[in-house]
Amino acid sequence: MPARNDPQVYARRLRAVLINSIPVLEARGIVIVLMAGMVGVIAGALVTGMSALVQAMHFLLFDVQPGGRLSAMFSLANPVQAMFPAIGGLLLGLSVIWLRRRKFRTPVDPIEANALYGGRMSLTDTFIIVVQTMISSGFGASVGLEAGYTQIGSGIASWLARAFRLRRNDVRILVGCGAAGAIAAAFDAPLTGAFYGFELVIGIYSVANVAPVMTAAVAALLTAEMFGGVPFPLELSGLPTLTAGQYLPFLLLGLLGGAASIAIMHLVSIVERVFVRLAIDASVRPFIGGIVVGVLGLITPQVLSSGHGALHREFAMNYALPVVASVFVLKLAASAISLGSGFRGGLFFASLFLGALLGKVFAGVMALTAPSAGIDPAVAAVVGMTSLAVGVVGGPLTMTFLALESTRDLTLTGVVLAASIMSAILVRETFGYSFSTWRFHLRGETIRSAHDIGWMRSLNVGSMMRKDVRTIDASTTLAEFRKEIPLGSAQRVIAVEEGQHYVGVLLVPELHSDLSDGETPVQALARFKDAVLVPSMNVRSAAETFQRAGAEELAVVEDFDDRTVLGLLTESHLMRRYAEELDKARRDLSGEG
């Protein structure tokens, strides 16, 4: 019997009150909007708290003054401070050992949760990621806090949705609301947060989702402002009027941003492979990576932490082309080494900073080679910032709204969106992944977005096969087969060897009409000898097997080596079950069922 103070009990009671107070819970959308607002408030408060704690760490470790930023410093106050990334790496290494001993699995992030698990996220996973992200950024590793922000917002949202026993699609929406609120609070940008939730976490934009996601984003923004969150706006003034002829160079910059994003993702993977080939244990890698990042920080602190201060510095000051290019290379190296060595965090803000640097480099090169084009460095920085970030993070509309809300300049929207689309097309057609989904790919997953494919994994061959399959020894003669299995008694029989090992499929009408000698063993007439299914196959893999074999029915075996017969599956049943589940998923998405 549950305890009276069990939070699950209170959640069920509150849910009952909410539901019973609304006569028709086809108006459950009102409940979802109210919960989205609650999620937004929680996300805004937690994001503000995380940011304040990391800023406090920077104050204690790096002497960053209140209101200042680590990456905005011109130099470290003391060379000893270059050791702190390594110390942070040591702490992360200890956490890796602790998690390994307790056999924790790889934590699930919001995109993976919505794609595979119906939005179900573990609070334990959430707090592990949040703490590791704060240690990484707080000790100066070249990573951003955005991964921790979205994890805490979505994790709390998932827990709340499941406590109220919401259906699968509503859980997924609230997970997107948590991420939307987190990004809105972090960047003082509600539209950016909302479209982050739509494009990256929910995986689709629909009218039904607008109210809860926007509610969460606005609630988070207001909460962050109430608790003193630091706004993100980039102060740009005196920007020249864009001409139609300048769109072509900026579209080229969009392609360069996409290409650079692909190179960055590959570089992170290369760093990881280097550590693997050197046989360096995962618990030691962050310490080594921290040493290298600390050395780079001695050259310029702009490479440390997420880069908020450095980005504002780049927009406020006009550095020479060699300086901007060198900072780009150093920040790129620091971010790749940080993530490749095992620091926890993301490339969201690092990609914005790197993109702004790339845009400035592009403007500098254009000024030398084609000065008549009149490419403004500040505009190029904004276009480069969004183009590279689109390639790394995904979501062209998300990054377009970020440029609009951070610069407060509507005239940039068209060129930014055009360049972002060029970047997105290049990455999709040549690479196919954002940074998050690329990491899943390296782990062996096939996720390319947050679209819900978890139901397809549960709809596997094992759940659809018939187990009452008829078998016969493969050495049985054709005459014996006809006596034992008269025409009309069955459509198909599975030929097996000793131990129920699969040999092939016998089509009963075909064997009764065959003109072969009656002493011919049925094994010689068996079909589809090399085409079998296994229980773990999903719908797509099974359908491909049917198509390759040209079969209407196939045997299901234990595994490809053992080939012990377990059952039979027909192609018609497979496609009918797939159509039913697809229709159900569509109804859930549209809110009909």
Shared-domain flag, residues 478 and 381: no
Is the pLDDT higher at 19 or at 492? Answer: 492
Q: Using CB atoms within 10 Å of the CB of residue 42, give its burial: 0 to 12 exposed, 13 to 18 middle, 19+ buried.
A: buried
Shared-domain flag, residues 507 and 429: no
For residue 319, pLDDT beyond 70: yes
What does the mean pLDDT of the chain come to? 84
DSSP 247: H
Residue 1 lies in a domain: no
Q: What are the CA-CA distances from residue 59 to residues 266, 294, 367 (Å)?
A: 34, 17, 40
User: pLDDT tens digits for 400-420?
Assistant: 888 888 887 777 888 888 999
**What is the Cα 345 distance to its own chain's centre?**
13
DSSP per-residue letters across 281-316: -TTTHHHHHHHHHHHHHHH-GGGSSS-HHHHHHHHH
Pairing of strands 492-497, 501-507: antiparallel
User: pLDDT tens digits for 326-379?
Assistant: 999 999 999 999 999 999 988 888 999 999 999 999 999 999 998 887 888 888
Count of beta carbons in the 10 Å neighbourhood of residue 276: 11
pTM assigned to the model = 0.76
Q: Which domain holds residue 476?
A: 461-581
**What is the Cα 148 distance to its own chain's centre?**
13
In this prediction, residue 447 carries a pLDDT of 59
Shared-domain flag, residues 412 and 490: no
State what percent of residues in the chain have pLDDT above 70.
Answer: 88
Q: Which residues of 460-473 are buried (b: 16+ CB within 10 A; e: fewer)?
A: bbbebbeeebebbe
Residue 275 lies in a domain: yes
Residue 586 lies in a domain: no
Query: What is the average per-residue pLDDT within 466-480?
Result: 87
For residue 48, pLDDT beyond 90: yes
Distance, in Å, from the CA atom of 66 to the CA atom of 64, rounded to the nearest integer, reads: 7
Q: Among 409, 442, 475, which residue terminates a domain?
A: 442
Is the pLDDT higher at 300 or at 573? Answer: 300
Shared-domain flag, residues 126 and 258: no
User: pLDDT tens digits for 102-128?
Assistant: 877 778 888 888 777 788 898 998 999
Shared-domain flag, residues 177 and 316: no
User: pLDDT tens digits for 537-591?
Assistant: 877 778 888 888 888 888 999 888 778 888 888 888 888 877 766 666 555 545 4
Structural domains in the chain (count)? 3
Cβ atoms 255, 429 nearer than 8 A: no
Q: Among 201, 227, 253, which residue terminates a domain?
A: 227
Query: What is the average per-residue pLDDT within 72-98?
Result: 93
Distance, in Å, from the CA atom of 312 to the CA atom of 58, rounded to the nearest integer, reads: 18
CATH, residue 275 = 1.10.3080.10
Cβ atoms 388, 358 nearer than 8 A: yes
Count of beta carbons in the 10 Å neighbourhood of residue 404: 21
Report the run of H or E that residue 530 belongs to, with start and end: none
Is the pLDDT higher at 456 or at 196? Answer: 196
Residue 18 lies in a domain: no
User: pLDDT tens digits for 226-285?
Assistant: 988 766 666 666 667 777 778 899 999 999 999 999 999 899 989 999 998 998 998 999
Residue 68 lies in a domain: yes
